[in-house]
């Protein structure tokens, strides 16, 4: 239950982080953009209204000047329309701005317009003040205040854009942090689940298969979640008990004929317990010259079984039955007119008793006592073994169910990770496409999101590949030249090697095998990627492909950090990572070599490794060779 709670909390945290990302990126981002657009539109409207006000007041001033020069009332029409439109435009400009300084300037501009109209324009339009120089001074003052108001509006517009850019950068940073948190939480969830459940279950599965194949000494390592450790310890206890009992059984093969015969009967499988009990009773009765043999045994998986031999023997009185149940375990004792032995038991297997009745002889001898004691112990041991086997079969069934649940768990985890990962990649790629609108910091953040999301996507693909059913391997095969595949992989990874300043040497000759092109290419790529990853800058990687009539060999040698000897046995186990790789923080889930091993095994080949810490490693793949295919004839023209 503790593992389940941890997984539930992990999924809840993952969902909460992804929801926060959507709220920040979609909800807050859209709202901030809408607010910015509305404020920008108001500022633009204020600026346009301010310019229109100057234009209309200029028209009014031109009309007044024309009237003063000509005396024609016709020139006063632009004055009448211009003064009203100009004052209205100033009112609109003041209503559209939210900056205090701008509003003050617009009020000053409106006051300047009122002063010009009152002190010059209106008297001039009435026919007076023809030579009043105050008009030009007032209008120049109006123009100056208008220009200052225009500058203030532009400053407000620039301040708004600067604030929008700062908010956008902050929003991008918060979104990047949330995406990285989602990726980190997903990676930790996968890592914890596989370390606590999948890897121990895989080891348990290997142990069960070894026990099923007859290796009774196989034991599973108690690791993983507490629930799983309890099951593993129970399995190991049952396996230990079974091994001890089987060893004891083999050590008693030299006993008397009766013990051997009874054991042989008790070891029969697929026989009805009642029939088997009567056979054992017949052998005991025949060996001891008994008139009747009675038994009352608890058989695991069946229940209480009553034995009576021969069929014509009288029923055992109830009083005799009570006496038999009171017989203590150990040596046989006289009881109910015969010799009785108690079959010991426990809570899982209560046991029972045997009663041998013989009337025509004076009594049972000491060897017969010992013989019946051995028979009782053999029966007791057989019942215990049957109890253990029954429990073991039940436990194995439960473990197989756990293995099936493990498969379902992998499918569920990968599906639940793929769903938010698809959204993350979609939004990140959409942001990356807007390259002109991103500053360098935002571009680096988006690239980091895409890089880590693709890395998590590759890890999910590796998990699915490792968890594929055994019958899914080797789908479509064809004759392939491994040298061609290796050449293509070399070309793909050449840039990665140059980025680390590595010297990569490659030699290949035609080497034909039968296999799946995609899978073999994947195996070669993962081997070369590992060599590049674990080789420090300035090192070298050498790989070559050789072939003879029987086998094709691909060897990859690097001058990297090497592998400690204690880590070599588990090197091809899923999620296994060498200690020095973890100490040096070399990234990776530990799936690559397990995938290579599975692919090579599916193609009937093998993989080996030689490594020295600090000097490098050599991985060698060996595959069955096939003859070079005959060239396909060209169709006649």
User: Considering only CA atoms, which of 84, 85, 82, 92 is closest in space to residue 47?
Assistant: 92
Residue 164 near residue 157, CB atoms below 8 Å: no
**pLDDT at residue 93, as a whole number:** 83
More confident residue, 336 or 184: 184
Per-residue pLDDT at 600 exceeds 80: yes
C-alpha 127/C-alpha 336 separation (Å) is 152
Coil, helix or strand for 479?
Answer: strand
Average pLDDT over residues 337-360: 67
Give the range among 403-417, 535-549, 587-601 with minimum mean pLDDT: 403-417
More confident residue, 27 or 347: 27
Paired tokens of 80? 């009448």
Residue 599 near residue 523, CB atoms below 8 Å: yes
**pLDDT at residue 250, as a whole number:** 45
**pLDDT at residue 254, as a whole number:** 33
Domains along the chain with CATH numbers:
2-185 (1.20.120.1730), 245-391 (3.30.450), 477-624 (3.30.565.10)
**pLDDT at residue 637, as a whole number:** 45
**pLDDT at residue 171, as a whole number:** 78
Coil, helix or strand for 214?
Answer: coil
Q: Tell me how far CA of residue 530 lies from CA of 230, 419, 526, 539, 635, in angstroms.
A: 37, 29, 6, 13, 45
**pLDDT at residue 248, as a whole number:** 46
Coil, helix or strand for 20?
Answer: helix
**pLDDT at residue 576, as a whole number:** 63
C-alpha 561/C-alpha 616 separation (Å) is 6
Residue 225 near residue 232, CB atoms below 8 Å: no
C-alpha 55/C-alpha 112 separation (Å) is 15
Averaged pLDDT of the chain = 75
**pLDDT at residue 340, as a whole number:** 73
pLDDT in tens, 386-433: 677 777 777 887 777 776 666 666 666 665 666 676 767 676 777 777
**pLDDT at residue 255, as a whole number:** 39
Per-residue pLDDT at 534 exceeds 80: yes
- Alpha helical stretches, state H, 194-256: 199-212, 226-251
At residue 66 the predicted structure's pLDDT band, cuts being 50, 70 and 90, is confident
pTM for the full predicted model = 0.39
Q: Tell me how far CA of residue 487 lies from CA of 175, 244, 418, 524, 620, in angstroms.
A: 41, 56, 32, 10, 17
Per-residue pLDDT at 285 exceeds 80: no
Give the range among 113-117, 324-328, 459-463, 584-588 with minimum mean pLDDT: 584-588
């Amino acid at each position: 239950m503790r593992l389940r709670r941890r997984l539930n909390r992990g999924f809840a945290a993952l969902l909460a982080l992804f929801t926060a990302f959507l709220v920040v990126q979609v909800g807050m981002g859209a709202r901030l953009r809408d607010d910015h657009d509305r404020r920008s539109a108001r500022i633009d409207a204020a600026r346009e209204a301010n310019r229109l006000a100057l234009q209309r007041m200029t028209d009014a001033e031109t009309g007044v000047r024309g009237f003063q020069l000509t005396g024609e009332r016709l020139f006063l029409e632009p004055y009448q329309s211009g003064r009203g439109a100009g004052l209205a435009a100033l009112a609109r400009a003041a209503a559209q701005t939210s900056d205090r300084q701008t509003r003050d300037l617009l009020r000053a501009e409106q006051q300047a317009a009122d002063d010009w109209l009152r002190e010059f324009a209106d008297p001039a339009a009435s026919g007076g003040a023809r030579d009043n120089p105050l008009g030009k001074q007032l209008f120049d003052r109006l123009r100056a205040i208008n220009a200052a108001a225009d500058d203030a509006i532009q400053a407000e517009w620039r301040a708004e854009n600067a604030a929008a850019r700062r908010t956008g950068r902050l929003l991008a940073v918060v979104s990047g942090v949330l995406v990285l948190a989602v990726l980190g939480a997903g990676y930790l969830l996968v890592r914890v689940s596989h370390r606590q459940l999948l890897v121990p279950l895989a080891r348990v599965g290997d142990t069960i298969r070894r026990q099923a194949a007859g290796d009774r000494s196989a034991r599973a390592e108690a690791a993983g979640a507490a629930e799983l450790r309890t099951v593993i310890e129970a399995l190991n206890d049952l396996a230990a008990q079974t091994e001890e009992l089987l060893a004891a059984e083999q050590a008693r093969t030299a006993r008397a004929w009766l013990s051997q015969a009874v054991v042989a009967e008790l070891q029969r499988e697929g026989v009805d317990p009642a029939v088997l009990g009567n056979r054992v009773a017949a052998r005991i009765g025949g060996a001891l010259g008994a008139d009747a043999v009675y038994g009352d045994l608890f058989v695991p998986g069946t229940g209480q079984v009553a034995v009576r031999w021969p069929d014509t023997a009288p029923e055992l009185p109830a009083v005799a039955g009570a006496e038999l149940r009171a017989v203590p375990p150990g040596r046989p004792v006289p009881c109910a007119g015969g010799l009785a032995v108690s079959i010991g038991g426990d809570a899982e297997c209560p046991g029972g008793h045997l009663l041998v009745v013989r009337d025509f002889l004076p009594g049972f001898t000491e060897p017969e006592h010992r013989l019946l004691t051995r028979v009782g112990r053999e029966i007791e041991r057989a019942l215990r073994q049957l109890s253990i086997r029954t429990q073991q079969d039940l436990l194995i069934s439960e473990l197989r169910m756990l293995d099936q649940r493990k498969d379902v768990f992998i499918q569920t985890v990968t599906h639940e990770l793929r769903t938010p990962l698809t959204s993350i990649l979609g939004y990140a790629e959409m942001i990356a496409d807007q390259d002109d609108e991103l500053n360098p910091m935002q571009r680096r953040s988006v690239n980091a999101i895409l890089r880590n999301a693709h890395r998590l996507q590759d890890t999910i693909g590796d998990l699915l590949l490792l968890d594929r059913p055994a019958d899914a391997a080797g789908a479509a095969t064809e004759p392939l030249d491994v040298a061609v595949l290796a050449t293509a992989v070399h070309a793909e990874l050449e840039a990665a090697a140059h980025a680390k300043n590595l010297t990569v040497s490659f030699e290949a000759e035609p080497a034909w095998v039968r296999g799946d092109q995609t899978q073999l290419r994947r195996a070669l790529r993962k081997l070369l990627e590992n060599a590049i990853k674990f080789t420090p800058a300035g090192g070298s990687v050498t790989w070559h492909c050789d072939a003879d009539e029987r086998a094709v060999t691909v060897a990859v040698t690097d001058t990297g950090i090497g592998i400690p000897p204690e880590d070599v046995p588990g090197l091809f186990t899923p999620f296994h990572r060498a200690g020095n790789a973890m100490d040096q923080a070399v990234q990776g889930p530990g799936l690559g070599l397990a995938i290579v091993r599975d692919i090579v095994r599916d193609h009937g080949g093998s993989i080996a490794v030689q490594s020295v810490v600090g000097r490098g490693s050599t991985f060698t793949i060996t595959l069955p060779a096939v003859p070079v295919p005959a060239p396909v004839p060209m169709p006649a023209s």
